Every structure is written in structure tokens, then in C-alpha cells.
Structure 1
Amino acid sequence: MNTLMKIAAATIALAATPALAAQALTDGKTASVSYADLDLSGKAGQDIFDRRIESAIEQVCGRIQNRPSLDANVRDCQRETMEAAKPSRDLAIANFSATRLAGSEARVIRFAVR
């Protein structure tokens, strides 16, 4: 099967099943969120960090679009990915003082989309 036929077949299959479409969009994706410019020792910096994490998750899982069959999958993806990111987020906050002395490249969390 040539490449164009494969793409067409995949497009039709994904259009027919929103659940598979949502899964296909997120399989194997990861997100990175930098906190190099934030002070995580206070609530203000932590709140900005949380918003960055939420934004990264929305970029890889998608946005709610008032389509019940697709939105359920998007919500599941967002919830599961937030759960996957939480340990890294908590560790970044807990170790903020120690990483403050490290270079800014050490001040990034990475997580996989579920």
C-alpha cells in the first residue's frame, strides 16, 4: 500500500472513531515544562508552574470541544497525564533550593502523555 493510501485509510479510521483519534494524537508524546525563571519557594511561582503544566497537557491531549465522545477521551488524557506529571512537579518544588544552584537546564520537568 503506498503512503498516500495509508494516510487516507488512517484519516478515515480516525474520523470514524473519536476515541481512537484522541489516542492516536497522544501516543508516545511527552511534554517538558521549564521552571528556570520561577521561584518555586512561594505560592506565586508554584501557581505559574502549575499553569504551565496544565497548558503543556492541553497542548498534547487537546482541548474540550463540546463533543461528548471526544471530550471524554480528552478529559481522561488530561487527568491521567496530570497524575503522571504530579510526582515530577512535587519533586521540583521540594528540591527547588538545591536546584537553584544548578544550571537552568536542570530546571525542567518532563512527563509522558498517558
Structure 2
Amino acid sequence: MTENELSYKIIGAALELHRNLGVGLLENTYETALAYELKKLGIAVEQQVTLPLIYKEVTIENAYKIDLVIEGKVIVEIKSVIEIHPIFQAQLLTYLKLAHMKLGLLINFNTLLIKHGIHRIVNNL
């Protein structure tokens, strides 16, 4: 599946999840439930993936922790906040660059309409 095809499936699963759980839960609840929904669809999901950072001669093994990596192609960062700040989008773009991936979804489940909480971040897609 391409990044765009995966994105479509991820967003569909997020809509289903939001419809069933609503707003106000912790981020890890949404993360675990979204991973479950995607696995039910036969999609490979990794949770809490550590991403090392190499700075000059130093390797920082656990520099970053990515919420979900889907099929090794799409990064999903889960939020449950009142509003998305630009720093969240910049952080996801940094993850994409360091992981050499092209597409990320920033999904904020703390919105009345989930479509307002989905942000697509691209890195040379």
C-alpha cells in the first residue's frame, strides 16, 4: 500500500474510534485503540517506536518516541489537547526527516469533529 492509501485507512479508523469513544480520554487510550482498529484491518502497526538521534559523534538511542509507525511508511502522532500548536507539526516533520519517511498524520482526538483534528504532514512526498 502507498502512503496515501494507508492515510485513507488510518483516517477511517480514527473516525470509527472517535465515533465510539468520543473526546476527553488520555492519548495512550486513543493510541492503543487506533492500533487495535488498524491491526483488525490487517495493517502492521508498531507502538512507541524509539528513534535514535546521531549528533556528530554521539548517538542518543532513545532521543524520540513515535506513537505509531504504520507499515513502516506513515508516522501517526496522537494528541488529546485543546488546540494543536505549530510545534506539534514541526516535531512530526522532524520525526519524518530523521526516520526518512514521507508522510505523517497528527491526530487530535480532543475535538468535537475529528476532521478538524487531523493534520497531514509531508516530507518530500
- For CA contacts below 8 A with separation 6 or more, give which structure has more relative contact order: 1
- TM bucket, shorter chain: 0.3 to 0.5
Bigger share in helix: 1
Normalized against structure 2, the TM-score is what?
A: 0.32
Normalized against structure 1, the TM-score is what?
A: 0.34
Structure possessing the higher radius of gyration over alpha carbons: 1
